[in-house]
Chains A and B, each alone.
Chain A
Amino acid sequence: MNFYTDNKDLQFQLQHPLMRKIVELKEKNFADNGKYDYAPADVDDALDSYDKVLEVIGDICANIIAPNAESVDHEGPQVINGRVKYAAGTQQNHDALTQAGLYGLSLPREYGGLNFSMVPYVMAAEIVSRADAGFANIWGLQDCAETIHEFASKEIKERFLPRINKGDTCSMDLTEPDAGSDLQAVMLKAAWNEEKGVWLLNGVKRFITNGDAQIKLVLARSEEGSSDGRGLSYFVYDKADGGVTVRRIENKLGIKGSPTCELVFRDAPAQLVGDRKLGLIKYVMSLMNGARLGVGAQSVGLSEAAYREAWKYAHERAQFGKTIVHFPAVYELLGVIKAKLQASRALLYETSRFVDVYKSYNILAESRKLTPEERAEQKEYQKLADIYTPLLKLFASEYANQNAYDALQIHGGSGFMKEYPVERMYRDARILTIYEGTSQLQVVAAIRGVLTGAYLQKIREYEALPVKAEHEHLRKLLIAMTGQYEQAVQFVKEKNDNEYTDFHARRLVEMAGHIVMGYLLLLDSQTGDDYIQSAAIYITRGQAANAERYTFITNFALDHLSAYSVEG
């Protein structure tokens, strides 16, 4: 079994035409070749390395991590004397990935990383999550290294980054008992200690994933007397320096293998990352975008796992004299799961490519001045990444939940039992629409793309691309959906009322999402042979779903808002 080679979608995405540009940017004219014996000599060499390394990940995921998932879910981590002890399977997973050199995938080689671009890194995250969505958190927190690399001083980079590839894990310590979605309310105090020449952190953090990590990024209030986001700075902390204990870990509905910690900081020494006061407004926002892409990958991986469980059960289970997959009520569910899975995957890699291009330009800009064309492209891709990331997080996580729900439903009573892995997936999925920004907060970020016309502009670009004659009817549907979407947006804008816009924001974002993913599936169908079925399902259902939203919005008067208010 191999979770990479058995998934044609991943290999298809890896061959996307934009990958060549992405590799060229990431490898900066292949400057590392000759300097590092594992650096590629050209684009094909790099793509071949992506493929081979993903195969190793697929092997470890299929043969170690997935088989461990059940025992990890049952056993879970524990707190012993203020420290976290992983479940035995979690530790085994971590050790295997460390031994295979699979941490620090996207870090530059000078810090021990593999210098992979975002697309294969996200693929790895998807594959790990398919094996065990809870474990994907521990592996995925290497994202923190990205933030250190992007914003910290050379000294901090040299101290912390080489440890990632050797197996040190990370945590991002943001939330507190009174600061969840509203991170501006963070209270953990950071005070400069002249004598020791370090910042000392004091306070409590709550809901910290993998909170006992060796390397922590901590959001703390460095400006005494301040009360908003501008008084917060970002710090890096080394567990070896002491001062942080784990008070308890949460007992959760799902992702039980991933320790969610309450932490007490007592004079914990830390170093400042980047500039003071930019903690929340710059660094956390950047980290958060990476983390949202990560949850997108985690969601798609979980959808894949749920789909495969459902497919298998539907083909094995016989009732009324035939396997249940032959009943319309079952094959519809299965077809829809697959369509949502492939739609969210298409969006995941489209977003990853956008992130890849602009981040590579950012790094390139450190070593030389970008040309005006390059700068324009950098801005363009950054804008696209900014509007696609919340769309991805919203849709992929909601679909993962719907898919896990339907996959369990296909199992009937058996799905409710612990004997089948689908019940774990159903529980694990639930957090996906909540952490790293709830679905509601993703809508707040994504509605900008609706109101500025940014989604529409990209939709028009998709619309201009050629499709085969036999797919023309699907494009016509998408064009009609786009017209309807424009009208709905116009209708809301004309009300010129913020509360009204907020109220309908999710509907508008969803309408945009259905069109975007409809196009992505349609366009993938032009070169890939396994997408047209999902494209047809997704677009026709999207047409109906958008019509419903359109009807609801255009019949909704401003004063109707009060009907929903349940205050007092």
Chain B
Amino acid sequence: MKPLKIVVLAKQVPDTRNVGKNAMKEDGTVNRAALPAIFNPEDLHALEQALRLKDRIPGSAVHLLTMGPGRAADIIREGLFRGADGGVLLTDRKFAGADTLATSYALAQAVRKMNPDIILAGRQAIDGDTAQVGPQVAEKLHWPQVTYAEEIISCDGRKVQVKRRLERGVETVAALLPLVITVHGSAPACRPRHAKQLMKYKRAKTLSEFQESGNDAYDSRLPDHLRITEWSVADVGGDESQFGLAGSPTKVKKIENIVFQSKESKRLTASDADMDALIKELMANHTIG
């Protein structure tokens, strides 16, 4: 079978699972300095699915794609330690402040340049919990998408069969390559770092990191595997107004502290009348619309 080119979309996120007292600033925004930056958990599940595909189809290669500040190169290194073959960091002031729309625009631009057969991503990131970026990337590329994946059952180089984890059971679907798959947290955990990969890639850096550290020579003697690719807006091309803050229609109106508590529930039938009433009620109290 023809080897696959696999891209894993991964995000560096604040570790919201271990929230301490200083996790939030007074204005209600996340205090990123107080939270350790980690590999978004479901993206690790996606990486594992990618590595399993690579194990299954010899010659396949897994590359990570992430967008963020310079330190997000950690995400690429972590992927390399666990078995990936390379990665690209999208970093540029012009990418900053992106909502899901601008993020998926930037990622889609980069994907076009990387030209993979398949894209895997975590279902959602633990900082925003939107679950929008994977699907939006698929839309922008006009590729099919399979969300909530738990297992890639088969892949013959043309078609993949995927088991999806839904709220009340599982569903098996088939789709043609190229496609985007977002992976659910119920999929197998990612394999650990591999000792040899760790030793091989421990000094891998982006050009910016080499320049900052000052003592490593980023010249022709440096083996290729120690260079982490860095792309700017200019590198990926496209419409500059669609990147970063400029390309982000999301406006935060207000942030509130919400304490979840169960209240009385309402039971609706599947009738059109009940649905219509619910939508009107939600619009009236500004939950939607």
Contact = CB atoms under 8 A, between A and B. Distances in A.
Interface stretch (A53-61, A83-91, A557-565): A53-61
Q: Give the 6 A-B residue pairs with the shortest CB-CB distance, closest first.
A: A38-B199, A101-B195, A100-B192, A38-B200, A38-B196, A99-B191
B192 A99 contact: yes
B202 A48 contact: yes
B232 to A, nearest CB: 29
Contacts of B197: 38, 101
Nearest to A57: B195
A114 B195 CA distance: 8
Contacts of A96: 191-192
Given A37-B225, A48-B202, A56 B196 contact: no
B196 A101 contact: yes
B128 interface: no
B194 interface: yes
A104 to B, nearest CB: 10
Interface-centre pick from B191, B192, B197, B202 (highest chain A CB count, 10 A): B192
Given A96-B192, A99-B192, A100-B192, A56 B223 contact: no
B86 to A, nearest CB: 14
Interface string A20-47: 0000000000000000011110000000
Contact of B195 (A37, A39, A48, A53): A53
Contact of B194 (A37, A59, A99): A99
A52 B192 contact: no
Contact of A60 (B192, B198, B200, B223): B192
A102 interface: yes
Contact of B199 (A53, A59, A99, A100): A53
Nearest to A96: B192
A52 B194 contact: no
A38 to B, nearest CB: 4
B225 A102 contact: no
A52 B196 CA distance: 11
B193 interface: yes
Contacts of A114: 195-196, 199
B155 to A, nearest CB: 21
Interface residues of A, number: 17
Nearest to A105: B195
Contacts of A39: 199
Given A37-B223, A48-B202, A102 B191 contact: no
A37 B198 CA distance: 11
A56 B200 contact: no
Given A38-B196, A56-B195, 14 more contacts: A38-B197, A38-B198, A48-B202, A49-B198, A52-B199, A53-B199, A59-B192, A96-B191, A96-B192, A100-B191, A100-B192, A101-B194, A101-B196, A114-B196
Interface string B180-223: 00000000000111111111101000000000000000000001
Nearest to B194: A101
Given A37-B200, A48-B202, A56 B225 contact: no
Contacts of A59: 192-193
B199 A56 contact: no
A101 B199 CA distance: 11
12 contacts: A38-B198, A49-B198, A52-B202, A53-B199, A56-B193, A96-B192, A100-B194, A100-B195, A101-B196, A102-B195, A114-B196, A114-B199
B216 to A, nearest CB: 12
Nearest to A112: B196
A101 B225 CA distance: 20
Contacts of B194: 99-101
